[in-house]
Amino acid sequence: MVEHDDEPLNRLRASDPATGSHPDLHTLRRRIAQKAPASQADTATALRDEMFAGPAIRAPWVAAAAVLALGFGAGGYAVGAQQGPSGGTLAAGQTDEPSTGSDDGDGGGDGESPALQGLERSVVGHDSASATMMADEPSAESGMGYAGGDGQAWDPGPVRLVAGPGLPTDHPTGEVRALMSDEDPQAFLAAWAERLPFDGLRPKDGAAEDWFGGDVLYDPDGSRILSAGVDGAGGALNFSYSDLLADPYCADMYSQMPEAEMDQMRKEFTDAFGDDVALPDASQCKDTSGPAPSADEAIAQAKEFLATTGLDVSAYELRVPDYQDGTVNQVMVEGWPEDSAPNGQLNVTVTVGPQGVTNAYGMVGEMRSLGDYALISATEAVERYGQREFGMEYGITLDEDVEPGLTDATTMPVEPSVQMPDPSPVEPGMKIPMLLKEKVVTGAELTRGTIWPNTGGPLEVPAWKLTTEDGMHYAVLALADESIDWQSWGD
């Protein structure tokens, strides 16, 4: 078990994780995790940005602030989780004990609660593998439904899959779907600003797309930002609101940023908004003292604020999750439409402090079919798993592996109870010892998963779930070669 100092890790936790940001952070976390070897499964890194939060706010001052790891900006990145059969996620930062988080709903967070929560990873041995738990299903009382806990299996080294007898050899077809929206970002932003109300400036031509990834309004009097953008051409629309100076780490950002970087930020800010619009300074950071709102109060304020976007908030299930920054007096509220997948792309996140909403983020869209596509057989999927572009670069996250569990608790991966070979003594002329486990695939199921191709957002695609004799499963993209357009770069 790796021990962490809770205080700095708490500051890295998301008051507004902006899940579904540009790009979708759930998918981004998966993609980053898929680049990590299994030998790193006991480590985790998280950068959660709070100030200047928003899905597409990528201004230079945001990037500079983010590297300070103080909790500003527009994203979260983590490595270190692994899937179990109940849809659980195994992530770094929690003990093996069941969650003992408070149930009193005060939303303030517990300083002893896990630092890294709800971060997906599909890495087991080869990077697109997911582990099946070799233990009884967790009970509601165990508090381990989401995390996995003792008995969570994972591969301690690389795996080579071998097709067993009886695997399907037929070539079916399967539907591909994408989250899409007909919303026009500029029209959406104008209507939202009118409802708030919000009177703001637009950046000069070219600055909005380069810095913010979409249409933007900036309120120079209150240092607030509204933004809206579309992922790719015709993708989902994302929106965000940030009260820049109401962040509890506002003063820290100014005091800990090198002066040269601050000067660069000031220049680029005026280049975007005009010489008469200066970058806010530390003296303008707002007083955020006061008691944190209760969970019920935070949810009520979140609903009221989200209604200004035009969303039918009554169709959303909002909650205050266990993972909160216990060092500040703000409460993060998250939610999804009741008829959509929890932890999916159609999410909303609102951060509420003593003075009201400080950050908000959400996505608008619907899943639409792109048609039926030719697929490979299960036998071919076993062979494909060994190809780098499919086994590592384009790993699949199965829908079942990101379903929510009973609790937000997370845990460190459990060391598998397998006999590992002893390190070989080094001798002249020796063959170089390298770990490799050959596993026989005994079952295959055509299911659905998520992939991030060269599009504006992730796609829901057919995937083969390959089960091995030890009960673990490995996901492989099922699209046939003729269904894929490989695109090079630098030509």
What is the pLDDT confidence band of residue 14, given thresholds at 50, 70 and 90? very low
Say yes or no to pLDDT of 483 above 90: yes
- pTM assigned to the model: 0.63
470 burial via Cβ count (<10 Å: 0-12, 13-18, 19+): middle
Q: Average pLDDT, stretch 353-379? A: 94
pLDDT band at 235 (very low <50, low <70, confident <90, very high): confident
Lowest mean pLDDT of 61-65, 187-191, 462-466, name the range.
61-65
Identify the band that residue 206 occupies on the pLDDT scale cut at 50, 70 and 90: low
pLDDT band for 417, please (50, 70, 90 cuts): confident
Average confidence (pLDDT) over 47-52: 31
Taking the domains of the chain in order of start, what are their residue ranges?
A: 1-34+45-76+183-233+237-364, 79-173+372-483
- pLDDT attached to residue 147: 29
| pLDDT interval class at 230 (50, 70, 90) | confident
Task: Report, in angstroms and rounded to the nearest whole number, the Rg of the chain calculated over CA atoms.
Answer: 23
Residues 258-316: pLDDT tens digits? Answer: 999 888 888 888 888 888 888 888 899 999 899 999 999 999 999 999 999 998 888 88
- Residue in 265, 295, 404 with CA at minimum distance from that of residue 347: 404
Q: How far apart are CA 217 and CA 231, in angstroms?
A: 19
Cα 228 to Cα 55: distance, rounded to the nearest angstrom: 9
- Here the tokens at position 363 are 């996505």
The pLDDT, as a whole number, for residue 9 is 37
The answer to whether the CB of 225 falls within 8 A of the CB of 344 is: no
Q: What is the pLDDT of residues 386-412, one digit of tens each?
A: 999 998 888 888 877 765 443 343 444
Number of neighbouring beta carbons within 10 Å of residue 386: 14
Q: What is the rounded distance in angstroms from the CA atom of residue 44 to the CA atom of residue 297?
A: 33
Residue 137: pLDDT over 70:
no
Mean pLDDT of 171-180: 94
pLDDT at 27 over 80: no
Maximum mean pLDDT: which of 133-147, 163-177, 322-336, 450-464: 163-177
Question: What is the reported pLDDT for 395?
Answer: 84
> In the predicted model, what is the mean pLDDT of the chain?
70
